[in-house]
């Protein structure tokens, strides 16, 4: 096992000024440490606004953390405002939820695919064109699609192009941020299976972000559950779904119906309100909704290893 990406106490906070109210600090991600192993898919699941996209953007070097450190293949990365420089920039790529928003509508598909190579001045024009056509076939579209424009493609085809574009620089690590949430359920499985095939063939490592519990189950080797900017539990996928330990994970898993289908986290039946992230309760952030809350929960529980490969942030397990 080789650790590909190492996040240590990564944080992101934003200061909001709404005069005349005093400035408020929003902690989008409040101290996350993760080791992502080469070849695995690490799923990240949580409600919208829990910080999973912010975490993914920091892991893909698109967003500068407020604090913490990131190592890629053992080398520390300095992430500046425009993202990290150097070779890691092409080895780590990000796939957006909405490929339409991320593909310039005035460019042909061919040009969109060639662009990452052109920016890095890799290959001749002819080589870039041939690589783009090869990549189109690889992701299940004909080479002739290079001459089309994004609006001529279906949602599923556009997401295939989004994936192809991320692969043009031959990355080792992809952050997939809700890659199928914008697609019809019938198309979702095709894209998920394509991602699995590509992972196998190209030895890719994935950070797979989703609010859909079944999609995360299907894709992941390990799963991290996020709540209000922190990881509350991380475990092997089967252990997490069959024996969730954190009360929040338990509530999520209990909400999955027996019949297969899409299960957004927001559908989970959890009593109580989600606290305002600008005014998090003292101690455990889940306290306002937890059936097991007790006095000790006024203190922030740390993420501790309770068995091999399994970490939980809850006083019931420490
Ligand atoms: Fe519930 Fe306390 Fe555990 Fe938080 S630390 S999840 S409030 S039991
Ligand atoms: Mg998001």
**Cβ atoms 147, 180 nearer than 8 A:** no
Query: Which of the listed residues 293, 298, 300, 313 should we mutate to test ligand 1's pocket, taking the one with most ligand atoms within 8 A of CB?
Result: 293
**Cβ atoms 212, 263 nearer than 8 A:** yes
Pocket of ligand 1 (CB under 6 A): 247, 284, 286-287, 290, 292-293, 297, 301, 314-316
Residue pLDDT, tens place only, 276-287? 777 777 899 999
pLDDT score recorded for residue 111:
96
Whether the per-residue pLDDT at 120 is higher than 60: the answer is: yes
pLDDT score recorded for residue 82:
58
pLDDT score recorded for residue 38:
97
Q: How far is the CA of 177 from the centre of ligand 2 (A)?
A: 7
Residue pLDDT, tens place only, 10-20? 999 988 777 77
Q: How confident is the model at residue 85 (pLDDT cuts 50, 70, 90)?
A: low
- Angle between the 185-202 and 155-167 helix axes, to the nearest 10 degrees? 20
Domain boundaries, the chain: 3-100+170-273
Higher pLDDT pick, 97 / 112 = 112
Residue pLDDT, tens place only, 131-170? 999 999 999 999 999 999 999 999 999 999 999 999 999 9
Q: Which atom of ligand 1 is nearest to the CA of 301?
A: 5
Whether the per-residue pLDDT at 268 is higher than 60: the answer is: no
Q: How far is the CA of 10 from the centre of ligand 2 (A)?
A: 17
Whole-number Å distance between alpha carbons of 76 and 291: 41
Average pLDDT score over residue span 181-207: 95
Token pair, residue 34, equals: 């993760």
92-95 and 173-177 strand pairing:
parallel
Phi and psi (nearest 5°) for 163? -70, -45
Phi and psi (nearest 5°) for 284? -65, 125
Q: How far is the CA of 194 from the centre of ligand 2 (A)?
A: 22
Q: Which atom of ligand 1 is nearest to the CA of 232?
A: 6
Q: How confident is the model at residue 101 (pLDDT cuts 50, 70, 90)?
A: confident
- Sign, CA dihedral 76-49-306-3, equals negative
Whole-number Å distance between alpha carbons of 103 and 94: 13
Q: How far is the CA of 296 from the centre of ligand 2 (A)?
A: 32
CATH architecture of 3-100+170-273: 3-Layer(aba) Sandwich (3.40)
pLDDT score recorded for residue 71:
93
Mean pLDDT of the chain: 90
Residue pLDDT, tens place only, 135-144? 999 999 999 9
Whether the per-residue pLDDT at 181 is higher than 60: the answer is: yes
Whole-number Å distance between alpha carbons of 123 and 130: 10
């Amino acid at each position: 096992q080789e650790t590909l990406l190492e996040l240590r106490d990564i944080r992101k906070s934003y200061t909001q000024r709404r005069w005349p109210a005093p400035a408020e600090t929003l902690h989008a991600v409040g101290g996350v440490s993760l080791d992502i192993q080469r070849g695995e898919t690490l799923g990240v699941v949580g409600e919208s606004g829990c910080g999973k996209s912010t975490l993914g953007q920091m892991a893909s070097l698109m967003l500068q953390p407020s604090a913490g450190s990131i190592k890629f293949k053992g080398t520390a990365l300095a992430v500046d405002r425009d993202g990290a420089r150097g070779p890691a920039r092409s080895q780590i790529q990000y796939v957006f939820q909405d490929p339409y928003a991320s593909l310039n509508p005035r460019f042909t598909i061919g040009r969109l695919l060639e662009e990452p190579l052109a920016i890095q001045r890799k290959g001749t024009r002819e080589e870039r064109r041939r690589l783009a056509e090869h990549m189109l076939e690889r992701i299940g579209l004909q080479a002739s699609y290079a001459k089309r424009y994004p609006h001529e493609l279906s949602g599923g085809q556009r997401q295939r192009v989004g994936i192809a574009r991320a692969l043009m620089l031959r990355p080792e690590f992809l952050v997939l941020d809700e890659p199928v949430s914008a697609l019809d359920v019938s198309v979702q499985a095709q894209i998920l299976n394509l991602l699995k095939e590509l992972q196998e063939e190209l030895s890719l490592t994935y950070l797979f972000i989703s609010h859909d519990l079944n999609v995360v189950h299907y894709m992941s080797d390990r799963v991290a559950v996020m709540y209000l900017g922190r990881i509350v539990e991380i475990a092997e996928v089967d252990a997490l779904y069959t024996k969730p330990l954190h009360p929040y994970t338990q509530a999520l898993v209990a909400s999955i119906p027996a019949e297969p289908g899409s299960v957004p986290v927001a559908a989970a039946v959890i009593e109580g309100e989600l606290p305002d992230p600008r005014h998090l309760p003292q101690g455990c952030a889940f306290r306002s909704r937890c059936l097991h809350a007790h006095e000790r929960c006024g203190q922030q529980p740390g993420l501790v290893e309770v068995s091999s490969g399994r970490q939980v942030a809850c006083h019931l397990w420490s």
